[in-house]
Amino acid sequence: MALSTAAWVVMIGSIVVLWVPAVWALVRTLRDEGRKLELLTEQGKIDTYSPQALGELREWIEAHPDDAYEPEARRRYNECVETLHDIEEPFYEWSNAAVEDLQKLDRSE
Amino acid sequence: MASENEARTAREEWGTRFGFLMAMLGGMVGSGNIWRMPYTTGQNGGGAFLLAYIILLFVIAIPGLMAETALGSYTKQGVIGAFKKTYGRGWSEGFGLVVVVVTIALTSYYLPVVGQVLYYVAHSFLLTFSQPGFESVAFWNEFTASPLLTIGTHTIATVLVGGVLLFGIKRGIERVVKWMIPLLVVTLIVVAVRGLTLPGATAGLAFALTPDWNYLVRGQTWIAALGQALFSTGLGWGIALTFGSYLRQNDDIPLGAGIFTAIGNTSIGLLSIFAVFPVVFAFGLEPTAGAELTFVSLVSVFPQMAGGPIWAIVFFVGFFFAALSTGIVITEIGVSTIIEETRLDRSQTVLVVCTVVWLLGIPSAYSPAFLGTMDFMFGNWGLPLATLLIIGTVGWKIGPERLRVIELNRNADVYIGSWWNPVIKYVIPLVMVFIMVYYLLTNIAGSTMQTVGGVVLMTVLLVGAVLVMRVVRQRETTNVASGGD
């Protein structure tokens, strides 16, 4: 019994949609881990947020000054900014200009 | 005392990224992936079902797993501790207790299944299936009719699980799953290659993969796809939460715990289709036989294949790895939680938890009917309830936006946008409620007692757990206030 064209399309489509992303995700996350460990060994610390993620974190902190999670969010924000100022090579794609513009957030009164 | 306190505060972590990923996969890939995924696909329109399933996997399962892992990673606590850190001490910790009780119940009837697979692994090595005059039905009936064998194998399975858990996260679970899961994949590939080269094998692929697009407009197809997407990925069982709590400081969540775990698990399901169905159709077996497909039907065809004993060994070893890894992972949920909530150390906790699940599992080992009832109650009602409590907590108590900006995108290998928020807050909880109502309406007429029993049991469990935690915490507060220790 030969497989129909539709069955072939489904089989190949499933492989492309499942196995390809699974292998890609595995390789990508293991490579990223290797890169993080390399940077940690060289520099002792690494940046923890991408430019987009750190920008959103800052917006959220500024919009929610009285939130119960705000102190932890601010601590994480400041920690990332401090790290970016200290290290030579960031993990995420930070430009020198973007790093220079970053400032720690003081506690809002 | 100081050293004891230090030991308590030093939380264990995964040794490697690969270990964490394999542990997540090990928990999600169970025996159901081997026999359930192929026949559910074949029964519900083949390719049409796969399309529905993959859509739901991307829309619901992946974001949900990210949320559950992020909750564990942010709180750095087991199930009850995560609820305590989110809601505060008191009655709401009962939500965590519900999750623990459901997973312990699940473990109690899953370990007898691990024991069944172990029995077949042993006999595959003894070449029993290729002996002259071997009858697979009689062999299965003889096994299930013998309490000595069923309870004995359940006991061995429990000891194996406990033995691994005694060594902890890094030296126990991680060390075992790091080779068990890759070997499972290899065994499935080997069996798939053999199956696909059998005469008539393509009929199996045609059954499972030929799309009948009419199924896409049937509600039943989407319900089956939802069930498969949610239950096979283990969303909301406490696995991702517990394992997320052991992540290291710079570990990513979205790519590994979300995308890789959900898609990797489904990829193994697809591999099972290639491994099981060609054999089933090449030998004219009944594709919808469920669990018996493995224990009765497939066993009868291995002797008919060239090199049959080898294929039986390879298949059952892979099947055993899938079952045992899930057994180890779901038992760890209770262990992690009890270590945190009591003064017991890991060895004592493993002993207590394994003894409890062993005792609770004896009726399931003894009676397949009891096992079926437990699965109906806790699979249909307990797990959706646990999922609802965990995802509902992220969606409505913490808030998805807070968790996303503070925890999920921290150290992330891929950025997660704000599209994630409504999925966690509205879509998944609504889907879980819908599934529970659907089960209620479709089962109430056919199996009234079991259905009503399941609903009552879950209601009692929820209310009881909340009351228990309220009383426990009130007593602790009273003791502290009165100067007790």
Report CB contact under 8 Å: A49, B410.
yes
> Could you tell me the two tokens for A51?
């430019």
Answer yes or no: is A60 within a domain.
yes
pLDDT surpasses 80 at B133? yes
B314 occurs within a structural domain: yes
Domain holding A34, by residue range, is 1-43
Per residue in A37-61, pLDDT tens? 999 999 999 999 999 999 999 999 9
* CA angle B365–B368–B369, rounded 5-degree value: 130
* A53/B415 Cβ within 8 A: yes
Is it the case that residue B263 has pLDDT exceeding 50? yes
Place of tokens 């503070």: B406
Taking contacts as CB-CB distances below 8 angstroms, the residues of chain A near B419 are none
Instruction: Kindly state whether residue B296 falls inside one of the protein's structural domains.
Output: yes
Chain A touched by B28 (CB under 8 Å): no
Within an 8 Å CB–CB cutoff, is residue B405 touching chain A?
yes
pLDDT at B6: 46
Say which residues have a Cβ less than 8 Å from residue B44's Cβ, sequence separation at least 6: B215, B220, B221, B224, B225
Q: In chain B, what is the straight-line distance between the N-terminal and C-terminal CA atoms, in Å?
A: 15
A109 lies in some domain:
no
Residues comprising chain A, all counted: 109
Residue A13 covered by a domain? yes
Number of other residues whose CB lies within 10 A of the CB of residue A76: 19
From CA B3, how far away is CA B8, in angstroms rounded? 9
Gap between the Cα atoms of B270 and B266, Å rounded:
6
Model confidence at B291, pLDDT cuts 50, 70, 90, reads low
Whether A27 and A3 map to the same domain: the answer is yes
CATH code of the domain covering residue B225 = 1.20.1740
Report yes or no: B246 and B258 within 8 Å, Cβ to Cβ. Answer: no
**Are the beta carbons of B54 and B253 closer than 8 angstroms?**
no
Q: How many domains does chain B have?
A: 1
B294 contacts: CB under 8 Å, gap ≥ 6: B31, B34, B35, B319
Q: Is the ipTM of this complex over 0.85?
A: yes
Domain co-membership, A11 together with A36: yes
- For residues A57 and A37, state if they share a domain: no
pLDDT confidence of B99, banded at 50, 70, 90?
Answer: very high
3-class DSSP state for residue B389?
helix
**Residue B408: domain span:** 21-474
In a shared domain, residues A38 and A8 = yes
pLDDT in tens, B182-226: 999 999 898 888 888 888 888 888 888 888 889 888 877 887 888
Q: Indicate if A37 and A55 belong to the same structural domain.
A: no
Asked whether residue B135 is assigned to any structural domain, the reply reads yes
Least confident of B40-54, B165-179, B249-263: B40-54
Q: Which residue has the higher pLDDT, B376 or B317?
A: B317
Chain B residues whose CB is inside 8 A of the A14 CB are 47, 50, 54, 209, 270
Closest CA to B34 of B104, B102, B116, B95: B116
pLDDT digits (tens, 9 = 90+) for B165-178: 999 999 999 999 99
A30 and A65 fall within a common domain: no
Helical (H) or strand (E) element with B48? helix B47-56
Find where tokens 């009165």 sit: B482
Q: What pTM does this model have?
A: 0.92
Predicted confidence (pLDDT) at residue B77 exceeds the cutoff of 80 = yes
A77 close to A54: Cβ distance less than 8 angstroms:
yes
Query: Could you tell me if residue A28 is inside a domain?
Result: yes
Q: Is residue B163 part of a domain?
A: yes
Largest CA distance in chain B: 78
- Supply B35's token pair: 């026999």
What local confidence, expressed as pLDDT, does residue B14 receive? 94
Higher pLDDT, B199 or B143: B143
Question: Could you tell me which chain A residue has the CA closest to the CA of B249?
Answer: A48
Answer yes or no: is pLDDT of A89 > 70: yes
Q: Is residue B3 part of a domain?
A: no
* Ranges B97-101, B301-305, B321-325, B395-399: which has the least confidence: B301-305
Within 8 A of A78 by CB-CB distance, chain B residues are none
What percentage of residues in chain B have a pLDDT greater than 70?
96
Domain count, chain A: 2
pLDDT digits (tens, 9 = 90+) for B455-466: 899 999 999 999
Length of chain B: 485
pLDDT at residue B4 tops 50: no
Q: Calculate mean pLDDT across residues B311-330.
A: 92
Distance from CA of B48 to the nearest CA of A (A): 9
Res B1: pLDDT: 39
Residue B12 lies in a domain: no
Same-domain pairing of A39 and A57: no
Measured CA to CA, the distance from residue B310 to residue B265 in angstroms comes to: 26
C-beta contacts of A12-17 below 8 A and 24+ residues apart: A14/B47, A14/B50, A14/B54, A14/B209, A14/B270, A15/B270, A17/B54
Q: Are residues A22 and A60 in the same domain?
A: no
Helix axes B17-28, B308-341, angle to 10 degrees: 110
> What's the pLDDT at B35?
67
Query: How far, in Å, CA of A57 to CA of A49, rounded?
Result: 9
Of A41-55, B47-61, B390-404, B413-427, the poorest mean pLDDT is in B47-61
Look at residue B9 in the predicted model and tell me its pLDDT. 53
Asked if residue A64 and residue A38 are part of one domain, the reply reads no
Q: Give a yes or no: residue A76 inside a domain.
A: yes
Same domain? For A38 and A69 the reply is: no
Inter-chain touch A73–B203, beta carbons under 8 Å? no
**Domain for residue A107, yes or no?**
no
**CA B116/CA B316 separation, integer angstroms:** 11
Dihedral over Cα of A49, A52, A55, A59: its sign = negative
* Half-sphere exposure for B325 (CA within 13 Å, toward CB): 32
